[in-house]
Amino acid sequence: MADERSHMVAGRSGKTLHGLKISVLFILSLLFLLPFYVIFRNAFTSPESFVSSDWKWLPDNLDFSVIRNLFSDTDLNLPGAMIHSAIQAVGQTILTVLVSFMAGYGLARFRNTAATIVLRLTVLTLMVPTAVTFVPSFIMTTQFGWIDSYRGLIIPMMFSAFATYMFRQSLLEFPHELEEASYLDGANPWTTMWRIVVPNSKGIIAAVSTITFIGAWNSFLWPLLVARENTTTVQLTLSRFMTSQGVQYSELFTGALVAIVPVVIVFLVLQRYLVQGLETSGMD
């Protein structure tokens, strides 16, 4: 009887703890989703209701006039800015994954003093704020004549110590038997990497691609330095709604809603690969 009671008490305690965890996670999820709700609500409501004491969770009438005005404003050129951001984000993602995967593969496979030094230096750069490197990067970009070009937006930002480290951690767990079988068939390390390792590393590649794309799409400081009229990104366009004369809240919230759509789509498509990649990278 005593054992049965102890089991019952333990079972109730386990259920209570599980329910508490679910409740905390639910509350945290609501807090994370709250900014998206505010953006959606304010994008389709009048500016007067932003500070009104009569708060309404949903707008009375969905007004799409601001969206139409944003896309039809030739001076603002929001569609062009989104295209520029897409080119920058896709280009930076492809190059970052390409360079970082090769670097991570080398650091995972070559076990020598040089590789150890490079790995430590790579990890050390993670402690350096990205903005600190903007000044030398901007000077070199100017000297190369890459101001107001996609090369200036993409190439200086395509090197990622974080992506390299994630690839390295994931490739440490890659089965060596597959590579050894490739070597026995006469393949060299370069061929083995592209034909054996890359096709079997889709999870971590998708995870790094997702993180890199979101970071590139949301970047503001570097495009602010390099981009001009021909390469203005969507984040720079949104900043035009905040001036010393005031803030255009309707346009800002509506533009922000439009700007987050591509990021949400990419995240939803690659979500399961993101979780899988993080689990195999040792970052979970």
Are residues 109 and 243 both part of a single domain?
Answer: yes
CA 111 – CA 133 distance, rounded (Å): 29
Are residues 46 and 88 both part of a single domain?
Answer: no
Element (H, E) at 107: helix 78-109
Can you tell me which residue has the tokens 């076990």? 111
Is 235 buried (19+), middle (13-18) or exposed (0-12) by CB count in 10 A?
Answer: buried
More confident position, 82 or 50: 82
* Residue-level pLDDT at 51: 63
- Model confidence at 279, pLDDT cuts 50, 70, 90, reads low
Is 68 buried (19+), middle (13-18) or exposed (0-12) by CB count in 10 A?
Answer: exposed
Are residues 206 and 239 both part of a single domain?
Answer: yes
Q: What is the DSSP letter of 246?
A: E
Question: Considering the domain boundaries, does residue 31 fall inside one?
Answer: yes
Are residues 276 and 135 both part of a single domain?
Answer: yes
Is 158 buried (19+), middle (13-18) or exposed (0-12) by CB count in 10 A?
Answer: buried
Are residues 32 and 96 both part of a single domain?
Answer: no
Q: Is 159 helix (H, G, I), strand (E, B) or coil?
A: coil
Question: Considering the domain boundaries, does residue 61 fall inside one?
Answer: no
* Residue-level pLDDT at 44: 78
Task: Tell me the one-letter amino acid at 268.
Answer: L
Tell me how crowded residue 236 is: count the other CB atoms within 10 A of its CB.
18
Task: Tell me the one-letter amino acid at 156.
Answer: P
Q: Is the per-residue pLDDT at 80 higher than 90?
A: yes
* Residue-level pLDDT at 52: 64
pLDDT in tens, 42-63: 887 766 666 666 667 776 667 7
Question: Considering the domain boundaries, does residue 58 fall inside one?
Answer: no
Question: Considering the domain boundaries, does residue 181 fall inside one?
Answer: yes
Which residues make Cβ contacts (< 8 Å) with residue 160, sequence separation at least 6? 96, 100, 212
What's the number of domains the chain is made of? 2
Q: What is the dihedral of CA 132, 135, 136, 142, to 10 degrees?
A: 150
Are residues 44 and 77 both part of a single domain?
Answer: no
Tell me the residue range of the domain where 129 lies. Answer: 68-280
Are residues 232 and 135 both part of a single domain?
Answer: yes
Are residues 83 and 215 both part of a single domain?
Answer: yes
Question: Considering the domain boundaries, does residue 191 fall inside one?
Answer: yes
Burial 7-31 (b: 16+ CB within 10 A, else e): eeeeeeeeeeeeeeeeeeeeeeeee
Q: What CATH number is associated with residue 271?
A: 1.10.3720.10
Are residues 43 and 104 both part of a single domain?
Answer: no
- Model confidence at 10, pLDDT cuts 50, 70, 90, reads low
Q: Is 80 helix (H, G, I), strand (E, B) or coil?
A: helix
Q: Is the per-residue pLDDT at 216 higher than 90?
A: yes
Are residues 28 and 130 both part of a single domain?
Answer: no
Question: Considering the domain boundaries, does residue 57 fall inside one?
Answer: no
The rounded mean pLDDT for the chain is 85
Are residues 111 and 237 both part of a single domain?
Answer: yes
pTM, rounded to two decimals: 0.84
* Residue-level pLDDT at 284: 45
Question: Considering the domain boundaries, does residue 18 fall inside one?
Answer: yes
Are residues 145 and 111 both part of a single domain?
Answer: yes
C-alpha 67: how far from its chain's center?
Answer: 25
Question: Considering the domain boundaries, does residue 122 fall inside one?
Answer: yes
